[in-house]
Amino acid sequence: MNLTDLRKNGALGVSLAGAATLIVMFMLVLVFYLIFSGGFPALEWSFLSEYPREANMAGGILPAIVGTSVMTIFMTILVVPIGVITALYLSEYAPKGVTRKLILTACNNLAGVPSIVFGLFGVGFFIHFVGGSIDNLFFADKLPQPTYGTGGIMWAAMTMALLTLPVVVVSSVEAMRRIPDDHRQASVALGATRWQTVYRVVIPGAIPGILTGVVLAVSRGVGEVAPIMLLGAVKQVQELPLALNSKFMHLGFHIYDLACQSPNPQKAMPMVYATATVLLSIILILNSLIIFLRHKQRKKSGIVSLTGNF
């Protein structure tokens, strides 16, 4: 092979492109390696089942696990029905026109609005407007000590629900759109009402797609820290977050707090790595679930989609 052939075949370009792919894979492996190798030695059962001690530098992360789970469950309960119903409206009920298209575009774009902006929204609207009004109406005797007009797990969950709403709506609409119109027409021809068609045909067919959206939302809810830190995530709690307005610990916030604001970062290091291992494992499990659901969906519809993730 002479030089011209090399240039023609793009030897340089192809090797660069291959190198780029290797870099991406390498970085992925590196992240998992660094976190898991640092975290597994410190990972014991007691780490998952105990409260933190000595300014979070010893003990476990039980409140953070519970806080993250409770917040995410709250969020899921809120976002799934609303998101799916909105998707149903957009896909099955709304007149096909400019408005519907506009709403879908807005939804799509809101998925890209920075999470910290949602955090700001939560502070301005939920904490100050809604929470402040509740305090003034029902807890006026406790003021100026706020009851609901301060960060709490409910406000965090509601803000996160709004943040993940576009994800659920967009992926559900996509899934519903993939159901062929023939199926709907067949259902209607058999005498089914619109609701019966939606309930018996559209929703069952779209379930894998909807579930993908839900898992994506959950995975964002678990991993997103920026809005949470404005909405009631704290360093330490005395008890598990069982009231609507209680402050809570969060795995991601715990990592940030230990890494950036710990009085003794060196001593806190094993704790951070172990917490990051727990968080990354959860994300890994959720992502495997997404891959599994996608696979199922693909087998069902025969259509490959990759854009749903974003």
Partner 1 sequence: MSEPDLKAQFYDRLSARVIKIVSFVSIAGILLVFTSILYEAVPLFFSSAPQTLPVSKEAEPPLFLGFSRSGQQLSAGWPDGRIKNWTNNYRKIEPDIEKPSRNQKIESMVLGSKGRFAFLLHKNGELTCWDFKKGKQRGRLVPDKPLAELRISPDGRVLMGIGRESGLYLFRIPRLGKLGKVAFLDGTRIIDARFSLWEKDLIAFLDADHNFTIWNREEITYHYNFTKFTPTCFAFSNGGDSIILGKSDGRAIRWHLGTNRVMADYPGVKGAVMNLQSGRDGWNFAFSSDRETVMYNLTTKKELFRRKEGGRFALNDSTEELLIFSSSKGVGLVEPDSRYADFSFNTSFRKNWFEDYRKPEWIWQPESELEPKYGVWVLLFGTLKATAVAMLFSVPVAVLSAVFISYYLPGSLRELVKPMVELLAGIPSVIVGFLALMWLAPWLSAHIFTRELVSRWGIEYQQLNVMVAGMALGFAIIPIIFTISEDAISSVPSSLIQASLAMGATRWQTIKRVVLPCALPGIFASEMLGFGRAVGETMIVLMSTGNPGIIDFSPFTSLRTMSATIAIELPETPFFTTHWRMLFLIGGIMFLITFFINIISSTVITRLRHKMEGTA
Separation CA 249–CA 153 (nearest Å)? 9
Amino acid type, 109: N
CB 124 to partner 1: min, Å: 5
- Give Dmax over CA atoms of the chain in angstroms: 88
Report CA-CA distances (Å) from 37 to 109, 135, 243: 38, 48, 37
Determine contact, residues 143/135, Cβ cutoff 8 Å.
Answer: yes
Shortest distance, CB of residue 234 to partner 1, whole angstroms? Answer: 10
Task: Work out whether 145 is an interface residue with partner 1 (CB under 8 A).
Answer: no
106 vs 242, beta carbon nearer partner 1 = 106
Q: Is 119 in the site for partner 1 (CB under 8 A)?
A: yes
Among 107, 153, 217, 249, binds partner 1 (CB under 8 A): 107
Stretch that binds partner 1, among 17-25, 44-52, 54-62, 241-249 (CB under 8 A): 17-25
Of 125, 147, 178, 296, the residue at the interface with partner 1 (CB under 8 A) is: 125
> For residue 93, how many other CB atoms are within 10 A of its CB?
12
Q: Does the protein bind partner 1 through residue 269 (CB under 8 A)? A: yes
Q: Which is nearer to partner 1, 10 or 41 (CB)?
A: 10
Nearer of residues 207 and 269 to partner 1, judged by Cβ = 269
Q: Rule CB under 8 A: is residue 167 a binding residue for partner 1?
A: no
**Strand, coil or helix: what is 233?**
strand
Footprint on residues 43-72 left by partner 1 (CB under 8 A): none
Which of 63, 67, 83, 208 binds partner 1 (CB under 8 A)? It is: 83
Least Å distance between CB 288 and partner 1? 9
What single string gives the DSSP state of each residue in 69-115?
Answer: HHHHHHHHHHHHHHHHHHHHIIIIIS-SSHHHHHHHHHHHHHTTS-H
Instruction: Restricting to residues 206-245, name those near partner 1 by CB under 8 A.
Output: 219, 222-226, 229-230
Using the rule CB under 8 A, which residue among 73, 85, 143, 186 binds partner 1? 85
Q: Are 122 and 156 in contact (CB under 8 A)?
A: yes
d(Cα 87, Cα 241) in Å, to the nearest integer?
32
